[in-house]
């Protein structure tokens, strides 16, 4: 009895899981593996379309002869880079209509014309003409002829399915001089973005954990930056920081705090003189990091607040008895209580910030020293139109991610369940 | 000890008042008043004087009388010493000083004489600063977005700092950007598309996630542990590494520029977190209830429909709102898959607006308001549910 029940249970479990698992596999896991395949190929954006033979049918009257018509098929190979083999063509005619002087490649049988055109090289074009006449010398209805669509097919290699592989993509990634800079930019962005968001999150959580008038309002608006759509927020900030008539620059200039407006998103370096030494600050990158902090500190805030509210109240009461001030309470009670959560938060936010694409893409598009790995995937794949390179960069991202995850599970994975 | 806390109070409170006066000046500048300097030092001196007087008067007089007299005299002093400004600006200064002197109520000499008080005072003022800092930093961009959408191109060119809304114009002129956005740029269609896509994603995700989550939470089967860890790991993989293969496959299958294609991708990317959240909740439902259902002759399907779903409505609401938010705000996939304006979602349409450098910024901001407002309203209304979704979805997963 129990074995049949557990069998039924297993079967039910698999049926219930099947749709979700299939979908996730095909849309998430399959592409990750497909990336490996594509990254070893030389594929451009234009190669993705499968080449196909195409024909445009034009019907023309022949002068003084209503019982004959000329049909021109403008034939072409849709691809400019790939050949099509064994192109076959067929078209239908209405009753009682026959072609005259048919091309040798074709033959006519039971109202149907069939042709075999052989191989078409890349970019092949031909104007293929036939003349048709009505057997009974009646007037041919042009619309009737036009209503039939020619049918073409041919064989071609799908460049994605061939087994030619090359290491060219990886070679050009790793041998590129900018690769190190790309990595460093990504790490700067990820590290400082994560750190800043967590620090700001601690402040916000500490604030909301107190009682004050308007606390629940504060709690709601603190989440606005994350809840709002990234497109709208990124463009609003771009507008605020615009050097020509952006609000912040105009304010600073009109108050005389700065002489000239500063292009916070378009200037790669800002030279700061401290004690006679010139420091180069990555200006655009810093701005983007600040946007990142602004947008994602709410998540850190939420998580830290939940932890703060779980700290037993008697710890603070005991501290009050000892006469400890608020700062002492924070450093000696609150901080030790939240360090575990902070380390988990840091790892997870690190992984997520590492993958961030939209924010930088919308603010700078990767220009002025803000090119990170995810932006590079887009640039290689869609701006340079080199799908293979884009995939290779994706592989680099996936490998780094796996490394981070291993570190995460090794370091904190076990503790994650205790919290 | 007394002297130290006195100095700290003076220092902290005067910086605080000077800062809020400066912020008020900035807000007034954005309403079209032309200030050429922030006068932080002047404000600081004024605040210092005010604090000293307030502390030394202490609670010797009626509190209300004291704060009114102090505020009125200092406002008059402020107006007298700085240049003339409209009544509403001075009124604002008056209210700020009133608020400030009211805050100073408990700071008399007796209070400052307590032990360990200085640290507490610093902390109190830091909290006040933090409230103002966070409110300003968060609301300022939203305010700019909203206000810019009511301006005209020429007004913005003449004075980019004057963001006041001119209510003397007729209603059509005030809302002109919105009319243009809907008429010329076809935003009505995009709102519909975005709604279809978001609601569709929610429904399909629930349809797939509820049975799967139930299986993970309740049933025993081979590979269960492996599956529940892989759900989390899969969720960590970013959209950007999926984009190129999906783009190629969708191009060859003709799924680009179709709402269907977008729905499939959105559902697949939100499924892991939906399953994760739901199974956690399902586990908390007492098993006895289901067993009673089993004895009544219900099959698994009946149990899910009649017992599990009605009992876990709050969790389902959280998941739905979270998924809705993700789908509504999603940008990367809509950028990759949609290039026909007929299939644009709102996010993609706004991005398309910026493609043309000539697009006036008030139209861009009107579009941004249109995409932001619904999600913020939903958030404010269903905050409780969405917050639990956010906590589970974005940090754990």
pLDDT digits (tens, 9 = 90+) for A55-86: 888 888 777 777 778 888 888 887 777 778 88
Final residue of a domain: which of B128, B148, B168? B148
Average pLDDT, chain A: 84
**Confidence band for B1, pLDDT divided at 50, 70 and 90:** low
* Cβ <8 Å between A236 and B209: no
Mean pLDDT calculated for residue range A16-33 = 86
Higher pLDDT, A138 or B270: B270
Phi then psi dihedrals of residue B102, to 5 deg: -65, -40
Residue B334, domain member (yes or no): yes
Percent residues over pLDDT 90 in chain A: 18
**What is the rounded distance in angstroms from the CA atom of residue A281 to the CA atom of residue A181?**
15
Over residues B192-237, the pLDDT tens digits come to: 999 999 999 999 999 999 999 988 888 888 888 888 778 777 878 8
A357 alpha-carbon distance from chain centroid: 7
Give the per-residue pLDDT at B263. 92
Phi then psi dihedrals of residue B381, to 5 deg: -70, -40
**Confidence band for B396, pLDDT divided at 50, 70 and 90:** very low
Give the per-residue pLDDT at A334. 87
Residue B173, domain member (yes or no): no
In chain B, the residue whose alpha carbon lies closest to the alpha carbon of A361 is B332
User: DSSP letter at A47?
Assistant: G
Give the per-residue pLDDT at A419. 43
- Structural domains in chain A? 53-155 (2.60.40.290), 177-385 (1.10.3720.10)
Residues 275-334 of A with CB under 8 A from B: 294, 299, 302-303, 306, 323, 325-328
> Both B130 and B7 in a single domain?
yes
Q: What Å distances lie between residue A253 and A33, A329, B137, B161, CA to CA?
A: 53, 42, 20, 11
Residue B253 has pLDDT above 90, yes or no: no
Give the per-residue pLDDT at B394. 54
Over residues A149-177, the pLDDT tens digits come to: 888 887 777 777 777 788 888 888 888 87
Q: What Å distances lie between residue A8 and A335, B282, B309, B355, CA to CA?
A: 51, 20, 22, 57
Give the per-residue pLDDT at A189. 93
Average pLDDT, chain B: 84
> Both B281 and B360 in a single domain?
yes
Give the per-residue pLDDT at A295. 93
Let me know: does B167 contact B152? Beta carbons within 8 Å: no
Q: Which residues of B touch A374 (CB under 8 A)?
A: 238, 240
Q: Which residues of A touch B265 (CB under 8 A)?
A: 27
Residue B170, domain member (yes or no): no
Let me know: does B367 contact B349? Beta carbons within 8 Å: yes
> Both B95 and B191 in a single domain?
no
Residue B174, domain member (yes or no): no
Q: How many domains does chain B have?
A: 2
Final residue of a domain: which of B148, B171, B204? B148
Over residues A264-278, the pLDDT tens digits come to: 887 778 877 777 777
Over residues A184-201, the pLDDT tens digits come to: 999 999 999 999 999 999
Q: Pick the residue of B32, B244, B368, B394 with the most A CBs within 10 A to test the interface with A by mutation.
A: B244
Higher pLDDT, A221 or B157: A221
Full domain range(s) for residue B96:
2-148
Q: Which residues contact A264 (CB under 8 A, 6 or more apart)?
A: A241, A243, A248, A283, A284, A287
* Cβ <8 Å between B161 and A247: yes
Residue B307: which CATH number? 1.10.3720.10
**What is the rounded distance in angstroms from the CA atom of residue A157 to the CA atom of residue A153?**
13
> Both B120 and B246 in a single domain?
no
* Exposure class string for A2-23: b at 16+ Cβ within 10 A, else e: eeeeeeebeebbeebbebbbeb
Residue B55, domain member (yes or no): yes
Mean pLDDT calculated for residue range B4-21 = 86
């Amino acid at each position: 009895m129990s074995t049949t029940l557990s069998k039924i249970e297993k079967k039910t479990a698999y049926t219930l899981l099947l749709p979700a698992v299939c979908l996730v596999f095909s849309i998430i896991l399959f592409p990750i593996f497909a990336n490996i395949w594509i990254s070893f190929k030389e594929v451009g954006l234009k190669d993705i379309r499968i080449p196909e033979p195409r024909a445009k049918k034009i019907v023309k009257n022949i002068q003084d002869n209503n019982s004959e018509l000329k049909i021109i098929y403008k034939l072409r190979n849709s691809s400019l880079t790939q050949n099509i083999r064994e192109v076959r063509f067929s078209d239908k005619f209405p009753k009682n209509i026959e072609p005259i002087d048919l091309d040798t490649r074709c033959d006519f049988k039971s109202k149907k014309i069939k042709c075999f055109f052989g191989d078409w090289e890349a970019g092949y074009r031909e104007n293929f003409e036939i003349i048709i006449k009505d057997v009974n010398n009646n007037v041919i209805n042009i619309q009737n002829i036009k209503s039939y669509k020619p049918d073409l097919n041919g064989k071609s290699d799908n460049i994605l399915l061939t087994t030619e592989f090359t290491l060219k993509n990886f070679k050009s990634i790793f041998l590129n001089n900018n690769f190190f800079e790309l990595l460093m930019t990504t790490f700067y962005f990820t590290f400082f973005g994560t750190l800043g968001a967590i620090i700001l999150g601690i402040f916000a959580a500490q604030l909301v954990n107190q009682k004050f008038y308007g606390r629940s309002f504060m709690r709601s608006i603190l989440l606005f930056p994350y809840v709002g759509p990234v497109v709208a927020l990124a463009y609003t900030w771009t507008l605020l920081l615009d050097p020509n008539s952006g609000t912040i620059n105009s304010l600073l200039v009109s108050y005389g705090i700065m002489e000239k407006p500063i292009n916070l998103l378009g200037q790669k370096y800002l030279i700061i003189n401290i004690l006679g030494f010139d420091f180069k600050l990555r200006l655009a990158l810093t701005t983007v990091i600040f946007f990142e902090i602004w947008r994602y500190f709410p998540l850190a805030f939420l998580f830290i607040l939940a932890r703060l509210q779980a700290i037993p109240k008697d710890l603070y009461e005991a501290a009050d008895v000892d006469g400890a001030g608020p700062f002492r309470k924070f450093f000696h009670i609150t901080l030790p209580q939240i360090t575990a959560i902070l380390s988990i938060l840091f790892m997870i936010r690190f992984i997520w910030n590492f993958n961030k694409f939209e924010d930088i893409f919308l603010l700078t598009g990767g220009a002025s020293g803000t090119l990170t790995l995810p932006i590079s995937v887009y640039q290689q794949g869609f701006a340079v139109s080199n799908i293979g390179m884009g995939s290779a960069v994706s592989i680099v991202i996936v490998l780094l991610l796996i490394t981070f995850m291993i570190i995460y599970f090794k370091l904190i994975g076990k503790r994650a369940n205790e919290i | 000890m007394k002297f130290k806390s006195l100095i700290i109070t003076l220092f902290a409170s005067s910086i605080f008042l000077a800062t809020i006066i400066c912020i008020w000046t900035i807000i007034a500048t954005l309403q079209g008043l032309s200030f050429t300097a922030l006068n932080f030092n002047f404000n600081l001196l004024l605040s210092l004087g005010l604090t000293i007087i307030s502390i030394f008067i202490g609670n010797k007089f009626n509190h209300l009388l004291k704060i009114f007299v102090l505020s009125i005299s200092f406002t008059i002093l402020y107006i007298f010493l700085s240049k003339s400004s409209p009544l509403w600006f001075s009124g604002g200064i008056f209210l700020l000083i009133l608020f400030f002197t009211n805050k100073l109520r408990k700071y008399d000499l007796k209070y400052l004489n307590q032990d360990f008080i200085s640290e507490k005072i610093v902390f109190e003022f830091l909290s006040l600063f933090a409230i103002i800092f966070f409110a300003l930093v968060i609301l300022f961009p939203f305010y700019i977005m909203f206000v810019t959408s009511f301006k005209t191109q020429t007004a913005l060119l003449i004075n980019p700092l004057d963001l006041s809304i001119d209510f003397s114009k007729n209603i059509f002129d005030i809302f002109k950007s919105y009319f243009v956005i809907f008429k010329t740029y076809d935003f009505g269609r995009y709102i519909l598309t975005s709604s279809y896509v978001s609601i569709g994603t929610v429904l399909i995700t629930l349809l797939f996630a509820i049975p799967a989550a139930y299986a993970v939470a309740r049933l025993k089967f081979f590979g269960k542990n492996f599956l529940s860890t892989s759900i989390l790991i899969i969720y960590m993989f970013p959209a950007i590494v999926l984009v190129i293969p999906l783009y190629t496959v969708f191009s060859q299958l003709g799924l680009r520029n179709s709402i269907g294609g977008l729905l499939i991708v959105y559902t697949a990317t939100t499924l892991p977190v939906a399953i994760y959240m739901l199974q956690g909740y399902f586990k908390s439902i007492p098993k006895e209830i289901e067993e009673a259902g089993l004895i009544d002759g219900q099959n698994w399907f009946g149990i899910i429909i009649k017992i599990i779903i009605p009992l876990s409505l709050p969790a389902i609401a959280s998941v739905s709102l979270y998924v809705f938010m993700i789908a509504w705000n999603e940008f990367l996939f809509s950028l990759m898959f949609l290039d026909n304006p007929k299939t644009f979602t709102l996010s993609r349409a706004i991005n398309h607006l910026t493609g043309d450098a000539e697009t006036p910024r008030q139209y861009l901001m009107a579009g941004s308001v249109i995409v932001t407002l619904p999600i913020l309203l939903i958030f404010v209304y269903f905050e409780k549910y969405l917050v639990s979704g956010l906590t589970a979805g974005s940090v754990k997963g």
